[in-house]
Structure 1
Amino acid sequence: MFESLGLSQESLDLYRLLLQRPELALTANRPLLCAELKLPEEQVEARLKHLRDMEFLASRWNDNGDEYPVDPALTLERLATKRQSMIGDLTEQLESDRLRASEFISDYNRFLVQNSVPDVEILDDVDKANLRMQHFYPTKSMWGMVKPGPLTTPPTDNFADQHIMARGAECRYLASESQLKSRIGQEWVEFLRDVGGKLRVVPSVPFKLVIFDGESAVMPLDPDRYEAGAVVHHSKAVVRMAIEMYEHYWRQADRSFERTPEPGELSAQESEFLRFLVQGATDEQVARKLGVSMRTVRRMAAKLGEQVGASGRFELGVRAAQRGWVD
């Protein structure tokens, strides 16, 4: 059906199956996929590699290293455009394939049902969020806050944002301080520097956030449960608030990563810990917000408590306020 686009019928059948049942693209479900296709693992892996090479598979939005099938509206149009620029004598066949692709997309729409109200899109699971993110085509800027928590996936050559940078759009990234202390974090620092991304570091970020061209803001439905999906805001008021929040973090980030505190001076991470403490956050909540372990939070509390002579959390908060460490 799409042979002129370089997509065999076997690969198309696998792609259609993954679109209808995206959970089969998870690495953990590879045995289920082999059983569904009635093929040995090596043949299935070869077909998956074919789809991956053609950019029909991409890394998932929740950064866990698994893959998902990219929206056909993007993959098929991208292939068609590429082939059209290379092979002029296939124009007629390509037009026919585009019509068939439209039918394919219409058939798939029932698997991508979005609840929406004016200026807001509700994507109530991760797969819908993954697919929706593929539809954004920023030409001016993409600003992102990296999801709190350890970085588990190293950078690769097929990093999707490189296409955005290649169009001349500014790509900014805000990450928490703890994320870049790992080996993978340092790899991301070097990688983003090489490809032209702008990275700054803060003690913590509130949740994952992406702002496209200053016109749309994507954030999780539930900051504590990323698997719940995402919400896309287009209203000027909400997007403006997201931009102002991002700009605040971006300005405050200048000293957080490059400057080492003097002896006896609070680090940016310690200041953030105290801010959460006086707000009444539990150790578990502080650890999640800072992207560190419970052990690190307790060690930080013990160090600061000894520094000010406090015997407990409440007294530490009081003495920190007396010293002007917190507002």
Structure 2
Amino acid sequence: MRNWRLRVIEELGLTPPQWEVYRALLWNPRASREELAEIARAHGSDLDADIVHLEFASLVVRSSSTPSQLRPVYPQVALQRLLDQKWDLHEEEAKQLRHVNEELTEFAEEFSEHRRAYEISLLNEVTDPAEMTSRVNELVREAKSEILSFVPNTFSGATLEHARAGDRELLGRGVRARSIYLDATLEDTASRQYLHWLAAQGAFVRTTPSLPVRMIVFDGSAAVVSRRALDPGHGALIVQSQGLIAALVSLFEAYWSRATPLTPSGIPRDSITTIEHDILTLLAQGMKDDAIAHRLDVSVRTVRRALNQLYERTGSENRFELGVKATRYGWL
């Protein structure tokens, strides 16, 4: 049977065996039941079931004088009627689909309006300095994993003491802190000493020539952003919109990748030798002393002597601490 005809038959709600029985009756209205049964069996079908379906579809009728005799209804009438029924059904389905589409469009518009209102509600402007300090302190206390910050300012006496106390408590809770300051911050003695103290406490500190805004991101779920670029005097926005926070985190990571790692006082960033750099790199990969020596084609004694010197210079007590500090100093 041609593929196009098979598709037409299926669209009319018929099976191939039913179509062949109907076709046999059209070609031979006097076909016997045995002949029709043979056609049905050849297609793996049951004749009685096929006849019931054909009668229901008004494709065959029984003779009024001989009820056992089936008479086919000519296709010009029968098939057109089936097609009209299908068309009416499709029209009703199309009408229902249009209604569903209208309902979905209305629902989508309602959602968009709600979403816009919701996003706006997740942006809270705070202009009062006391309230701003209170909100930031609250977010710091609630932080559990990581705080990211752009800090484009230097520090004075009272500010430094307050910052040290907060940072000591934060880092003591195991919260990871990554901060980017301006290169110019290192020109101020008090600020430079504070940054070195901060790095020694375990924070990750980097500097850069410029910063786009003053901000702090807490656990990737909330952020505080100065309302006017670098000037906190004009208030700030408390951001809780996940879309905006994701954008702020991406901005931070872009600056972080280009910023310069802070190294402790007295330890220039380029103060390690090539062999020390290679040893640190392999150490970070988890290799043991003998494996490092074999890879670099030096003696195990040379590797251990270099490691001991690095321990002493960085104040590290073990390999893990040395790896952390080497990363912080920009050696890796």
Same fold (TM over 0.5): no
TM-score by length of 1: 0.40
Bigger radius of gyration among the two: 2
TM-score by length of 2: 0.40
* RCO comparison, higher one (Cα < 8 Å, 6+): 1
